[in-house]
Structure 1
Amino acid sequence: MPRPERTRVMCVANQKGGVGKTTTTVNLAVALALHGNRVLVIDLDPQGNASTGLNVPHHSGVPDVYDCLINSVPLAEVAQNVEGIPNLWCVPATIDLAGAEIELVSVVARESRLSRAIAAYPGQFDYVFIDCPPSLGLLTVNALVAAQEVLIPIQCEYYALEGLNQLIQNINLVRQHLNPNLDVSTILLTMYDRRTRLADAVEQDVRNHFGDKVLQAVIPRNVRVSEAPSYGQSVMTYDPGSRGATSYFEAAQEIAERGVKEPVGRNA
């Protein structure tokens, strides 16, 4: 896969839970890393699901992203190599992160703590993926301030577009006041069930609304995608031949090619 000229920092966000944010973060990161890109995943969700999916230790006491945000510990000290994937690192989230939302309120420059930590990282990455919690609190704001691009996974189900306006409004507020380079660059349709007319209708709605921001690759409902995290793996390594894995590979390929064609960090 082509490598971008400079680091692409992508925040994976949607305030709805269960739309495939973490699954998307993990599988895109693994796909890009397996094909020659240097990738860092930052788990910003207190549930720590991205850490689980990459089989990175994240029990209480493990140095994690909380230490970076609250205690200014350098990211390089908490990033862990992902076993079996040489170009992939993960900054885990432990349960300590659950309190960070409240603790950040009184911290100086609270919205840009993550941005500063990424900027101070001594190594050079091709991609940094930030897996956000399903809410619009200070952790998500930190991710939006640190990122140049927002990737929004949208589930092909009835309530898919509900709450999306609120997310877009918040992104616009962050762009106006904190990060003028932020751009909703990528929409990915997930949990697509070809047997239903509803999935088709949602896909058309999303494509009409967001145009060419929507990837051509669509992620189907796939048992292998759901099973993989219980083995501490991505679907890319758990079952590379499955429909879920090939779909995520196609999505990663599209994201990589778009990054080469378009200047990263442009305003929308």
Structure 2
Amino acid sequence: MAQVISISNHKGGVGKTTSVVNLGAALHQMGKRVLMVDMDPQANLSQSLGVFEPEKSVYSLLRGFCNIDEAMQELELDLYLIPSELDLSGAELELSMEAGREFILKDHLEQVKEKFDYILIDCPPSLGLLTINAFTASTQVFFPLQAQFLATQGLVKLQEVIAKVQQRLNKDLKVGGVFITQFDKRKILNRNVREAIQKHFGDALFNTVIRDNVALAEAPSKQTNIFRYNSKSNGALDYWELANEVAQRLP
């Protein structure tokens, strides 16, 4: 049965999509069966993997225009993607009167959970219905955080939303972990913020930090993951270590 993990932070630019691409790729290289779900109307995850204007998408799935097997695209053996498209931006309004609208994604993923070890959901930078669907479908939420002074400030509202989802929609949901992105150990601010995040989150903070690395920014332009783009880069080393921690916490 798959661990369903939402990668979420309603602050943009913290590395959500980069983390889904490369954490998914690392887990796949470890021999795990992985499904990635693009719940962001900007479709950055899909485009980073070379999928543009998909015939079937997560929008088609949520609207009932296709089933989940039709929506999934096989990227490699045991590595799949449910892509997104711009039409998803209208889904919150279109689904607003739908009965059980918070459970639509969960109901679809239940049909394929036995086929995968990990399902990674790239959440949009908002706390609307799309993110609620992701949380309702998930067993864990991971937060990527930049090592910046205001990094934890926006998490208060996010944690409030998670608490409500736990209470009303998904009692099994857990805050599975926090990891720091775009880290530069040469910067005193980065080191100080890491210490503050450690105090705030304790054992929830992963030991691995994702270092600031230009290869991570370049890989999407080649429509591939960091391991195929530059397997010797710091970005590849860091996401490999993060994947090992995830596999230990959530075997």
Gaps spanning 5+ residues in structure 2: where? none
Whole-Å separation in 1 of the counterparts to 2:59 and 2:82: 10
| Aligned twin of 2:61 | 68
Whole-Å separation in 2 of the counterparts to 1:234 and 1:185: 24
| Aligned twin of 2:52 | 58
Give the aligned residue type for 1:254.
E
Alignment of 1:29 onto 2:24:
yes
Gaps spanning 5+ residues in structure 1: where? 1-5, 261-268
Structure 2 counterpart SS, 1:191 = strand
Structure 2 counterpart SS, 1:51 = helix
CA deviation after TM superposition for structure 1 residue 87, in Å? 2.0
Whole-Å separation in 2 of the counterparts to 1:72 and 1:109: 17
CA deviation after TM superposition for structure 1 residue 89, in Å? 0.2
Whole-Å separation in 2 of the counterparts to 1:212 and 1:122: 28
User: TM-score normalised to the size of structure 2?
Assistant: 0.97
Structure 2 counterpart SS, 1:106 = coil
Alignment of 1:43 onto 2:33:
no
1:227 is aligned, of 193, 218, 221, to: 218
Give the aligned residue type for 1:30.
A
Give the aligned residue type for 1:53.
S
Whole-Å separation in 2 of the counterparts to 1:75 and 1:130: 15
Whole-Å separation in 1 of the counterparts to 2:187 and 2:154: 23
- Taking the TM superposition and a 5 Å limit, the aligned residue runs for 1:1-268 are 6-55=1-50, 57-59=51-53, 62-71=55-64, 73-82=66-75, 85-121=76-112, 124-260=115-251
CA deviation after TM superposition for structure 1 residue 136, in Å? 0.1
Structure 1 counterpart SS, 2:216 = helix
Give the aligned residue type for 2:89.
A
Aligned positions, number: 251
Query: CA 1:216 to 1:42, structure 2 compared with 1: closer, same or farther past 3 Å?
Result: same
Give the aligned residue type for 2:229.
Y
CA deviation after TM superposition for structure 1 residue 72, in Å? 5.5
Quick one: percent identity of the two aligned structures?
A: 40
Q: Tell me if structure 2 keeps the 8 A contact 1:34–1:87.
A: no
Q: Deviations over 1:180-208 (max 9, x none)?
A: 00000111110001111111111111111
Structure 2 counterpart SS, 1:185 = strand
Task: Kindly report structure 1 stretches of 4+ aligned residues shifted beyond 6 Å.
Answer: none
User: TM-score normalised to the size of structure 1?
Assistant: 0.91
Structure 2 counterpart SS, 1:16 = coil
CA deviation after TM superposition for structure 1 residue 122, in Å? 7.6
Query: CA 1:96 to 1:230, structure 2 compared with 1: closer, same or farther past 3 Å?
Result: same
Q: Tell me if structure 1 keeps the 8 A contact 2:2–2:114.
A: no
